[in-house]
Structure 1
């Protein structure tokens, strides 16, 4: 009977066992006091380090598909093996520091000289801290090691910290509390001072608290603390003039940290989650979510506003038809409707993260720049199919626009690379810390023009989801399904294609009625198709106020109009838009057919419904501020929005029974200078 074929993972495990035996023997040999040739031992240590690195590289390239037979709990076995290799590498690194002959500089200075030069050395160490973080090796505890190995490892870790700084382990301050989730983690409290014994490339550092407890801590939870801080608090103020300058340097570095902390923390937080195995490869901090948080520049409330011409004396995209008195329709270079069908084979986040929302954000994009507002559609999710997202669920009543996969897009960009950027995202909360965040699960780009500049064919598109961000190189979403060189057969490639993450989108032509309404909108805007008629009516009211009712076209006085002033804010709150749509649909059903085509009747109905329902909700003191993907806030807002007591007339809005926010002039006045797009 032929021998059973050994799998790649099993081969790596056997090689790791062999390396571990060699490391144990090397450590015992180096511990002997009569060891004659330290140089030879040092060279063997370096060779074993290189061997461990080679095995680690091989392990990272392995995938479940490489195994000749199914392996139970493959991912966990792979992580355990990686942890063993990291521990061996750290032991070898510690041994190399121990065997390396001391430098002349470390033996030469006297104690008094050391005290005089300590400030300069510490400042140099801080300047090189970023390089040290990249150069230091990773540290993990190995549960399989015996007690003697653990003790040796602890002693070696302490020696590493003492050697790396020249005077002792570097002190850090915890900027946030951290609760250990796995064995070997060190729980810390905010403000606690820790000694970092060793730093890891994966973002987990070995630290020791004041009680002598050691464990792994994410580096994003730590901030460097100057070793002289505690000494300076007890010293007199009569110091040399150079010391305040070094203090200023420390303060400057702290200030720089505060400046870039937000951006760095987002990236590092993702690195920490990746190291924990909480997120799959290719996940990144959400690019489009971050743009939405920066202000209103990428929101619908900004793009619904009229755009000024180059001279700033007229409007570029808002004109009146002199014959009809209506807004003059303007076709855009690209004007289409699309339907989000589904996403499949999307890797779900791992344990430790609670997903609050799965969604797709889309916008006009030219490969380097976001050209429109960012529109969000929330996906529905079935735990029985964790890798599949769907849209537009069947439900009784009106489908909320946040769940509606039918969208429209208009864009007048002349870029030959014009297209639609789709970013799949999740909003999560970390169970251990309560930290919220937004992750990109991948992105896809649909180019809307062919090589000749003509629009692409209107059909269903299956778009491949790429990992990373649109501004970096293509990153695999799942290494098990996109490994290069596997497979090569046609049938195997077909099977592989079915496993790749995909977004299914249907591009549709615009019918006559929808085209007329879309042409009344700004040249560039993205949104839900169910709101087009409301947006078109608002643009008509806006045109009346700006083009007909102003004394002169050069007049920029405030315009008294609650509708013009506040409706753009409602566009950024989908639940209020749903309430407006519901009231509009109920009132429109009572109109005669001729009235439904009369723009004057529609404008009057728009103002009446808006002021009688949405306006008072927008500035109600009882209404909590919108908070994305917060189920409690969303439920509380829904109870207030659809409460029968909210259906009151405009005349009763000043009643003592209605509680409103403090009055602000911006609630009832439209400022053309600040609102128009420049």
Structure 2
């Protein structure tokens, strides 16, 4: 019998177990004083790096990565994250106890080394003229003192732009506390102030003269020394130093230093290199999506939510007369179209842009009030500063390559269906029940990039715009086109401008001001109304949701099936047993993997085209057909082993998934046209179609797990 494949989560669990054993063993050695402190500190550093690497790997895992379904996947993943966090905290505390004194902590050793060196020099000079050459060679080969390795002089003025930066002036002598591979070093000036400084502004040693700038030989020597030191830094990443404080204050201050160091990332290095235009920042909404799990994803917002009493559902009710989901009006329900962006600065050399996109959410000036929805932009390579989100972009535009769509997945989808993918569709809706007078829509323009030199991937915010949905008197905005100014920085920053050819406050005549206004970055958004059918479908959706308008019919059908299972098919209102429903258990995943949602849209549109008008009005018939179409398209693909894992802005992964999705759909459609039935279970037992091993969690919907999640 072949061995069972180990999934990524199981492998991470084994790594965590092994890390815990190593940490326990090291703690015992430290307590029993086996070995030196230096050796224990190095072991602690290695374990810290391993633990942080394992934690990053774990956070990137998704249920789709597993070769076979895993029961209670989210709960198991959270348990492993908590275990790893405890291990990391334990290692951090141990590192503070074992860390050697920093350069600013003990000056006695430095003076001792200096006196020892002077004594050696005196001995060398008294040994005679014949030994002068040998003594000179020894002096030249003698390595510099450890304390001197951390003394640097500022070559040019540097004004800190963000919290944690250290402003310095030319000629100032700094003591380096920690060197990092990304080029931003933690330094301390003569007054005791600490912060990060780019290493390109520093020169090894004390003193800087005007002649230094003209002495190429000295610069080359210093560059070679820096490169040699960088290699040492890469091998000793994680070494921490504590300054001259007592034990309690050192621990408190070190936590602040640790936080500042973690905030230094690739974007700071690229900004110092000039590869990032002024006003660009790390993406705020992208960071929320990455670090907060499902908290800001649409898959969380379509799940049922209990009321405050936990005895009923908050916004899911059935109309007893019609059997349909009861319509629920909310304070805000608007439809809008992302149209275009213009004059958006582009990143400089050294980075390759993988995706241009806009992340959208409800915002009140202080917090995000809905899920974060992403719309990818198309652009003309001849004019990369203009982004287009128009849902009217036709197939011929893509086929003629006038627009760069980042991935051929979009071309494949358009060729197969003639529909615009959800990822590119700028027609959106927002439902929100917040009563905040400052409620509006936040648009964060972003790019996903990869560094050419290191291959490191990241996301930048190219600016943001905010559309307030109510005026000062509380009246909603009228349906028209709005040109929103794009601001630099983050949504919490004020008066940060993007790199433009004209400043916002440029003086001049009225005509000149009008010309200047047209040169500023703008986001064009159109507020619009919808037909009565769409309004009816929107009224049955959750109280808070932001998504693509073309998916409303699918979301409404899912909502109806959810109401039937929870309000009609349960034995009693107190019963919370697992329910057999593959749609309810897997449909939320589709909102996070939009290519599978596109596949479902295509299959359902084809099914609707074959229906009569009477069948389209028959709710029970629609639910039956939707279940069949779902099982034979999205559900089948979701558990296909040939489908690669979903990865954002990965061109190779997107192309592979697109080809698997539409080749599989074509095969299934061919078999159905040749006599098969839509949604027939025989396809899951057909030897020509591979699928993952069956697990009961694929078929069951856990009400308690969903309800607890919404309480969080």
1:645 maps to which residue?
667
1:204 is paired with a residue whose SS is helix
Given candidates 332, 348, 351, the residue that maps to 2:349 is 351
Q: Can you list the C-alpha shifts for 1:388-407, whole angstroms capped at 9, x where unaligned? A: 00113222511111111111
Normalising to structure 2: TM-score of the pair? 0.64
Question: Runs of 4 or more off by more than 2 Å in structure 1?
Answer: 105-115, 130-133, 135-138, 170-176, 198-212, 214-228, 248-262, 644-650, 654-666
Matching of residue 670 in structure 1 with residue 701 in structure 2: yes
2:280 to 278, 283, 287: 283
| Number of aligned positions between the proteins | 500
Q: 2:556 aligns with which of 516, 533, 536?
A: 536
TM-score normalised by L of structure 1: 0.67
How far apart, in 2, do the equivalents of 1:387 and 1:503 lie?
12
Counterpart mapping for 1:434-583 below 5 A: 434-478=455-499, 480-482=501-503, 484=505, 486-583=506-603
Residue 226 of structure 1 deviates from its aligned partner by 6.2
Q: 1:531, 1:581 within 8 Å by CA — same for their partners in 2?
A: yes
Structure 1 equivalent of residue 166 of structure 2 = 134
Q: Contact conserved, 1:640 with 1:646, CA < 8 A, in 2?
A: no
> How do residues 609-620 of structure 1 correspond to structure 2 at under 5 angstroms?
609-620=629-640
Is the Cα–Cα contact under 8 Å of residues 356 and 429 in structure 1 kept in the other structure? yes
- Secondary structure at 1:653 match in 2: helix
User: Is there any run of 5+ residues in structure 1 with no aligned partner, and where?
Assistant: 1-104, 116-120, 139-156, 179-184, 186-197, 229-244
Q: How does 1:63-74 map to 2 (within 5 A)?
A: none
Residue number in structure 1 paired with 2:656:
636
Say whether the 8 Å CA contact 1:449–1:455 is kept in structure 2. yes
For 2:230 and 2:521, how far apart are their aligned partners in 1?
Answer: 30
Shift of 1:276: 1.4
8 Å CA contact 2:178, 2:241 repeated in 1: no
Work out whether residues 284 and 468 of structure 1, in 8 Å CA contact, stay in contact via their aligned partners in 2.
yes
Give me the whole-angstrom Cα distance separating, in 1, the residues matched to 2:535 and 2:460. 35
Q: CA-atom RMSD, angstroms?
A: 3.9
Shift of 1:555: 1.2
SS of match in other structure, 1:477: coil
TM-superposed CA distance for 1:110, in Å, is 6.2
Superposition map of 1:74-153 within 5 A: 111=112, 134=166, 136-137=168-169
Report the counterpart of residue 273 of structure 1 in structure 2: 270
Of the three residues 218, 224, 228, the one matched with 1:213 is 224
Distance 1:431 1:597, change over 3 A: same
Contact 2:280 2:498 in 1 (8 A): yes
Q: d(CA) in 1 for partners of 2:629 and 2:109?
A: 85
Deviation at 1:622? 1.4
Aligned twin of 1:398 = 419
Q: Give, in whole Å, the separation in 2 of the partners of 1:135 and 1:260.
A: 15
Quote the offset at 1:546 in angstroms. Answer: 0.3
Distance 1:114 1:496 in 2: 66
Q: 1:457 to 1:592 in 2, by over 3 A?
A: same
Q: CA deviation at 1:172?
A: 5.6
Going from structure 1 to structure 2, the CA distance change for 1:620 and 1:253 (only over 3 Å counts) comes to farther
Tell me, which stretches of 5 or more residues in structure 2 are unaligned?
1-105, 117-146, 152-159, 185-193, 205-219, 396-413, 672-679
Out of 309, 312, 318, the position equivalent to 2:307 is 309
Report the Cα offset of residue 620 of structure 1.
1.5
Q: Structure 1 218/570 Cα, relative in aligned 2: closer, same or farther at 3 Å?
A: farther
8 Å Cα contact 1:171/1:224 also seen in 2: no
Partner residue of 1:388?
386
Distance 1:226 1:211, change over 3 A: farther
Paired with 1:340 and 1:412, the residues of 2 have a C-alpha distance of: 22
User: 3-state SS of the aligned residue for 2:425?
Assistant: coil
* 3-state SS of paired residue (2:334): strand
CA distance in 2, matches of 1:488, 1:651: 75
Mapped to 2, the partners of 1:288 and 1:218 lie a distance apart of 33
Task: Tell me by how many angstroms 1:543 deviates.
Answer: 0.1
Cα deviation, 1:464-519, whole Å, max 9, x if unaligned, reads 001101112220112532253x2231011101100010000000012211100000
What is the SS of the residue equivalent to 2:303?
coil
Instruction: Tell me how far apart the structure 2 counterparts of residues 525 and 114 of structure 1 sit (CA, whole Å).
Output: 71
Residue 200 of structure 2 is matched in structure 1 by: 204
SS at match of 2:353: strand
Alignment of 1:318-337 (within 5 A): 318-337=316-335
Question: Is 1:424 the equivalent of 2:445?
Answer: yes
Check the 8 A contact 2:501/2:519 in 1, yes or no. no
**Matches of 1:357 and 1:675, distance apart in 2:** 32
Aligned-partner SS, 1:408: strand
Distance 1:416 1:110, change over 3 A: closer
| Distance change in 2, residues 1:444/1:622 (3 Å) | same
1:675 Cα deviation after fit: 1.4
The question of whether the paired residues in 2 share the 8 Å contact of 1:336 and 1:510 is answered with no
- Residues 315 and 437 (structure 1), Cα distance of their counterparts in 2 relative to 1, 3 Å cut: same
Alpha-carbon distance in 2 for matches of 1:251, 1:622: 51
Supply the distance in 1 between the matched residues of 2:426 and 2:589 (Cα, whole angstroms): 22
The alpha carbon displacement at 1:111 in A equals 2.6
Q: CA deviation at 1:461?
A: 0.6
Other structure's SS at 2:424 match: coil
2-side partners of 1:466 and 1:553: how far apart?
Answer: 50
In the alignment, which of 409, 428, 436 is matched to residue 430 of structure 2?
409
Cα distance, 1:428 vs. partner?
Answer: 0.7
Tell me, yes or no, if the aligned pair for 1:203 and 1:272 is still in contact at 8 Å. no
1:444·1:464 contact (CA, 8 Å) conserved in 2? yes
Alpha-carbon distance between aligned partners in 2 of 1:275 and 1:408, rounded to the nearest angstrom? 39
CA distance in 2, matches of 1:536, 1:467: 38
Deviation at 1:664, TM superposition (A): 3.9
Moved more, 656-665 or 605-614: 656-665
CA change 1:597–1:432 in 2 (3 A) is same
Change in Cα spacing, 1:249 to 1:662, as seen in structure 2 (3 Å) is farther
Distance across 2 between alignment mates of 1:227 and 1:595: 73
1:512-531 deviation digits (Å, cap 9, x = unpaired) = 11100000100110110110
Q: Which has the higher contact order (CA 8 A, sep 6+)?
A: 2
